[in-house]
Amino acid sequence: MRWWCSNDGSNWSWTWKPYIGAWAIVAAVAVWLWRSGAFRSEVPARRKISLALGLVLILGGTDWPLSTLGAGYVVSAQMVRQVLIVMIACPLVLFGAPESLGRWIEATPRRRAVLRIATHPLLALVVSVSLLFAVSAPILVDPLVTSQLGSFALDLAWISAGFLIWMPVQPPSPMVPRLRGPVAIVYLIGVSVAPLPVAFFMTWSPTPIYSVYELAPRVWDTFDAQSDQELAAAIFQVAGGLVIWAQIAVRFVRMAGGGGGSTAGPKFRGTLVGATPATDG
């Protein structure tokens, strides 16, 4: 039994091979969240469901078969992992995180100062996208995925980038988002556009750019490395973009409906009383 996914050069098998590192990390985080009050009865159900789903997606993206395929057989599976965790699981976990986490982050002036720097929109976008570029570079991917520790380092980098991307617009409760309303929408548009050069390079490259996936044993005989790379680029562009734009659409609808930027004014909550006619003398 292995502790993390990596490319060991073996032929693909559909025999279940759990990674104890993935299970141990997710289990430890789940226990900590439970003890921190994330699943108490007074917590809204949507937050508990969001957190549980986020943890399940993270486990699904770091355990067999998806992680095994992504680490050493098909790069398209690696892109599915990144979309599932960075674009879906990370905001779900942040939304459902216990309030004790948000209060801990803001408990001291030093932590608040670090938070202000880390959640600065431009810095968060540049750092997170740079990390995503780095973990997609063949010069790093090819040597690192051949060892469990190297593969773990790559996964840790892009998962961290996922949380960093979402912090300016979806911090743990009761923290106030750095960006709200139209500014948050503009930021998310930037998130959807910034990583596209990676996908464009994968799409237009005449040859496979990753030797580890090109030389890996074929999972499906008719699915060669070039087709795999083109599918990976499509997943990164289309699936990742759709998830981001779904977030943008939800925020826009809420804003248009009065959740933010409404000019309708406060709703009347009193009791209407009919006017009494005036009487003479």
Query: Rounded to an integer, what distance in angstroms lies between the CA atom of residue 11 and that of residue 38?
Result: 42
pLDDT at 269: 44
Query: Rounded to an integer, what distance in angstroms lies between the CA atom of residue 253 and that of residue 261?
Result: 11
Helix axes of 148-166 and 121-134: crossing angle, nearest 10 degrees: 160
pLDDT at 237: 86
pLDDT at 264: 38
DSSP string, 145-190: TTSHHHHHHHHHHHHHHHHHHHTTTSPSTTSPPSS-HHHHHHHHHH
Query: Rounded to an integer, what distance in angstroms lies between the CA atom of residue 225 and that of residue 75?
Result: 8
Q: pLDDT-based confidence at 203, cuts 50/70/90? A: confident
Q: What is the pLDDT of residues 208-239, one digit of tens each?
A: 999 999 999 999 989 999 999 999 999 988 88
**Hey, how many other C-beta atoms are within 10 angstroms of the C-beta on 196?**
15
pLDDT at 151 over 50: yes
**Hey, how many other C-beta atoms are within 10 angstroms of the C-beta on 161?**
24
Judged by DSSP in three states, 82 sits in helix
pLDDT at 229: 94
